[in-house]
Amino acid sequence: MKILETIAAFKAERDKIGGSVGFVPTMGYLHDGHLELVRRARAENITVIASIFVNPSQFGAQEDFSSYPRDTERDLAMLEEENVRLVFMPAIEEMYPQGFSTWVEVEKITERLEGESRPGHFRGVATVVAKLFNIVQPDSAYFGQKDAQQLAVICRMVSDLGLNLDIVAVPTVREPDGLAMSSRNIFLTAEERKAALVLWKALCLARGHWEKGQRDVASLRQEMASLIEHEPFANIDYISIADPETLQEIDVIDSPALVSLAVRIGGTRLIDNTMLGV
């Protein structure tokens, strides 16, 4: 496995690779969710390339860029174990050199949910992902369904800009009790870790009611909210039941629906989602 820190060095190695390339972009602090992306990429391609870059432009001024968990040595050992061929690990100045002034803005679907709670977040994500795609030149790129809106934004960008790659959505990997794996779970205290399960419980509650025939979104949302409000560590940021492609809120579930939520558990903001009707 080769670790490349500059675009020039990376491109020199990339040029030597023939056959299909699967790409897994990450911000590091890897967990089984990331490894699932790598394994899927390996199953479907001859070569797997990963990147590790904590992208400052997708964090707001008050967000956790500086405290975002990092453990590069461990990440690299995990990627090596999974037979990743190249790891692109640029410094901030390599990705955003002096004078950098070109940004990718995906409109409409970025206006709500994560986009509303985290202004500028998707501008940072779309820009860095577009730049990584240009550098890595993958045939396919792998993203987790846990970040459902990110996935929708990237699919929109790829389609709108006619980028020549496939985006592969990989199901969320969960802890045995149901908590979605996330690099930010490390911030939870033991008590908060227990409380964090309320996200998964709320999604299961919605699914349970839907399976029994409930189609009214306001009632489902209300049920979810009252479950979460009973958890003292939890503070709801949003609960959404929306069209999975446009992310517009719906009133009645009569076609596939994305149920997503963002909840603060103590100081840690967690997101999760499930699809109904697929």
Query: Which residues in this chain contact ligand PAF in the complex, by CB under 6 A?
Result: 25-27, 55, 58, 125, 128-129, 147, 150
Q: Is the Cβ of residue 54 or residue 225 nearer to ligand PAF in the bound state?
A: 54
Q: Is the Cβ of residue 171 or residue 208 nearer to ligand PAF in the bound state?
A: 171
Q: At residue 158, what is the residue type? A: V
Distance in Å, CB of 28 to ligand PAF, minimum:
8
Distance in Å, CB of 231 to ligand PAF, minimum:
26
Look-up of token digits 């939870």: 188
Closest CA to 26 of 71, 93, 81, 83: 71
Residue by residue, DSSP assigns 210-274 as HHTT--BHHHHHHHHHHHHHTSTTEEEEEEEEE-TTT--B-SB-SS-EEEEEEEEETTEEEEEEE
Q: Is the Cβ of residue 123 or residue 193 nearer to ligand PAF in the bound state?
A: 123
Active site residue 31: no
Alpha carbon distance 50, 196 (integer Å): 29
Alpha carbon distance 184, 10 (integer Å): 29
Distance in Å, CB of 40 to ligand PAF, minimum:
15
Residue by residue, DSSP assigns 112-165 as STHHHHSTTHHHHHHHHHHHHHHHH--SEEEEETTSHHHHHHHHHHHHHHT-SS
Work out the burial of residue 164: count CB atoms within 10 Å of its CB; fewer than 13 is exposed, 13-18 middle, 19 or more buried.
Answer: exposed
Is 260 within 8 Å of 271 (Cβ atoms)?
yes
Distance of alpha carbon 58 from the chain centroid: 12
Distance in Å, CB of 236 to ligand PAF, minimum:
22
Q: Is the Cβ of residue 271 or residue 276 nearer to ligand PAF in the bound state?
A: 271
Q: Is the Cβ of residue 26 or residue 172 nearer to ligand PAF in the bound state?
A: 26
Q: Is the Cβ of residue 136 or residue 206 nearer to ligand PAF in the bound state?
A: 136
Closest CA to 49 of 61, 60, 38: 38
Distance in Å, CB of 110 to ligand PAF, minimum:
13
Residue 93, token pair as written in the block = 């100045």
Candidate list 34, 121, 209, 230, residue with the active-site label? 34
Distance in Å, CB of 187 to ligand PAF, minimum:
16
Alpha carbon distance 34, 182 (integer Å): 9
Catalytic annotation, residues = 34
